[in-house]
Amino acid sequence: MQNRRFHLRPVVLVVIVGCGVLLALHKFLTSINDLEEGKPDAFLSFPMTVILPIAALAYLVRMPATRTSEGILMRFAAIVLILMIVALPAVSLHLALGFPVAFLVVEMFETRVPAPLRSTVKQWIAVG
C-alpha cells in the first residue's frame, strides 16, 4: 500500500480563503447597511448565516492531508458547497441538505468519468 497523501493545491487554497473572506466581508457590510436602514434581520442572523459556515470552512481548509484522492475531492465539494451556502442565503437550507448529493457527485466522478479526464481534474485541484 502506498503512503501517498493528498492535499489541495496552494493556489486553490488561496482562492478558497479569498472567496470566503470576500463573502464574509460583503455580508457584514450589507448587514450593517441594512441595520442603518432599520432592517436588523441580516445583522441578527449574521452569526448563523456567515460566521458558522466560515468556521466550518476554516476547519475544512486546515484539515490534514487525506490518504485518498477521493477524500480530497469530497473535501473540495464540501468547501464549494459551504461557499455557496454563504453566497446564496435564500437557498442555504436546500444547499445544506445537499451535502449527500455533493458526495454522490464525487463518487460518480470517481467511477463514471474517463480516467484521462479524471486525472486532469484531480491535478488541477489536488497534489498527492
Q: Residue 3 has what pLDDT?
A: 82
Instruction: Give the closest residue to 106 by CA, choosing from 88, 67, 80.
Output: 80
How does pLDDT run along the chain (128 residues), one tens digit per residue? 568 899 999 999 999 999 999 999 999 999 999 999 999 999 999 999 999 999 999 999 999 999 999 999 999 999 999 999 999 999 999 999 989 999 999 999 999 999 999 999 999 999 98
**What is the model's pTM?**
0.91
DSSP calls for 43-110: HHTHIIIIIHHHHHHHHHHHSPPBSSHHHHHHHHHHHHHHHHHHH-GGGHHHHHTTHHHHHHHHHHHH
Characterise 38 by phi-psi region: left (phi > 0), alpha (psi -120 to 50), beta (else).
left
Q: Residue 109 has what pLDDT?
A: 94
Domain segments of the chain as ranges: 7-127
Q: Residue 4 has what pLDDT?
A: 87
